[in-house]
Amino acid sequence: MGHRVRKAVFPVGGMGTRFLPATKAMPKEMLPVVDKPLIQYAVEEAAAAGVEHFIFVTGRGKNALEDHFDYAPELERMLEERHKDEALDAVRRFMPRSGQISYTRQTEPLGLGHAVWCARHLVGGEPFAVILPDDLILADEPVLKQMTDVYDPLGGNLVAVQDVPREHTFRYGILDIETDDGKLAKAKGLVEKPKPADAPSTLSIIGRYILDPVVFSPLGRRMIGAGNEIQLTDALATTLAVVPFHGLRFEGVRFDCGDKVGFLQANVAFALHRPDLADDVRAALRDLVC
Ligand code: UTP
């Protein structure tokens, strides 16, 4: 089997406080960019990389997510009767098959590391992907596919990385670099959310991971880190002696859809990339800002 990545974990148990009141009754991963919820972009990206099993770690708002990835017979019948072929296609185009999606519940939002740990029994003993749906990336080749393409000879842990302005290091997990060929960096250390002055580099982790299951052991120790949360980065740092850790500088533009401005920017950028919308959106934006 080598290092084939067959499973992906989608941690969707966060509080989404930055999007209240929109996220009061609905998880932020159901927020649409143009006309598709963030979670669907994430699931489609995983499928494009060959993932066959989708594992959701949910919190509140589970029903909306489950319903989104289920058949909607009444809606589909109505669309069929009214000959709304395009709408019907949009509803049916991506539908995982029965048994391809599993849900587990993070009963308390104790942090990203805790959310990933909650998926341990569903993941088992093989390398797996983690996708944070609020990191949305506009790319010709889906970023997880870029990662699976280089993962096989590397093994261990591989994350998507990008250089950020030094004043922003406190928002990210940052790599302490051992070697760097400009595309792939090998880390000898990791720090979660360091102050700019303390950051060992400006190379930061974006929400795409391929992880060795060895990470479940330190995650089980429930170390409390930055923001009083159980951080995935801290657990990964403890595995550095056991498995290699690489960061891949991906091709694409990343939008932080957990942030209002990033989310709005993503909507504009994705709309401008849609042949059916680009001209009208460009004209509408011109009207607004001129
Ligand atoms: P964020 O740090 O963006 O936190 O989580 P959040 O709670 O979702 O949003 P804000 O800051 O309150 O607005 C990063 C990712 O980790 C998941 C989130 O769902 C998101 O995909 N997460 C975070 C969990 O699944 N569980 C947690 O306990 C924390």
Q: What is the CATH number of the domain that holds 216?
A: 3.90.550.10
Q: In angstroms, what is the span from residue 89 Cα to ligand 1's centroid? A: 31
Q: Is residue 248 part of a domain?
A: yes
The per-residue pLDDT for range 222-243, each reduced to its tens digit, is 889 888 999 999 999 999 999 9
Give the Å distance between the CA of 90 and the centre of ligand 1.
28
**β-bridge mates for residue 208, sequence order:** 131
Per-residue pLDDT, averaged over 63-67, amounts to 88
Nearest partner of 55 among 68, 43, 44, 67, judged by Cα: 43
CA of residue 55 to ligand 1 center, whole Å: 16
Ligand 1 center to 110 CA (angstroms): 9
Q: Is the residue at 53 inside a domain?
A: yes
Q: Is the pLDDT of residue 1 over 70?
A: no
Type of residue numbered 250: F
Residue given tokens 């974006």 in the structure block: 206
Ligand 1 centroid – CA 275 distance (Å): 32
- The finding on whether 112 has its CB within 6 A of some atom of ligand 1 is yes
Ligand 1 pocket test, pick from 134, 209, 219, 228 with the greatest ligand atom count within 8 Å of Cβ, gives: 134
Distance CA 4, CA 53 (A): 12
Helices (H) and strands (E) in the chain, counts: 11, 13
Please give the Cα distance from 126 to 217 (Å, whole number): 14
Evaluate whether 272 touches 278 at the Cβ level (below 8 Å): yes
Q: How far is the CA of 155 from the centre of ligand 1 (A)?
A: 27
Q: How much distance in Å is there from the Cα of 111 to the middle of ligand 1?
A: 7
Find the helix or strand (DSSP H, E) in which 97 lies: none
Residue nearest ligand 1's atom 5 by CA: 14
Atom of ligand 1 at shortest range from CA of 19: 13
Q: Which pairing describes strands 135-138 and 253-256: parallel, antiparallel, or unpaired?
A: antiparallel
Q: What pLDDT was estimated at residue 2?
A: 63
**Mean pLDDT in the chain?**
93
Residues 6 or more apart whose CB falls under 8 angstroms from that of 204 comprise 161, 162, 163, 164, 168, 169, 171, 172, 173, 174, 175
Residue 39 structure tokens: 């979670």
Q: Is residue 125 part of a domain?
A: yes
192: closest CA among 180, 204, 183? 204
Does a structural domain hold residue 2? no
Which residue has the CA at smallest separation from atom 17 of ligand 1?
14
Reduced to 3 states, what is the DSSP secondary structure of residue 251? coil
What does the pLDDT average to over 39-51?
96
Query: Is 196 within the bounds of a domain?
Result: yes
Assess if residue 60 is contained within a domain: yes
Q: What is the pLDDT of residues 117-131, one digit of tens each?
A: 999 999 999 999 999
**Ligand 1 contact, 278 CB (< 6 A):** no
Q: What is the dihedral of CA 164, 169, 171, 176, to 10 degrees?
A: 100
Would you say residue 41 has pLDDT above 70?
Answer: yes
pLDDT of residue 210: 98
Q: How many residues in the chain? A: 290
Q: Does ligand 1 come within 6 angstroms of the Cβ of 57?
A: yes
Residue 1 maps to a domain = no
In a domain, 19, yes or no: yes
Residue 244 pLDDT greater than 90, yes or no: yes
Residue range 207-224, pLDDT digits in tens = 999 999 999 999 999 889
Number of domains in the chain: 1
pLDDT digits (tens, 9 = 90+) for 76-109: 898 989 989 888 888 887 778 888 999 999 988 8
Q: At 146, list the tokens.
A: 């870029």
Note down the domain range covering 231: 7-289
User: Is 109 touching ligand 1 by the criterion CB < 6 Å?
Assistant: yes
CA distance 136 to 206: 10
The ligand 1 atom nearest the CA atom of 230: 28
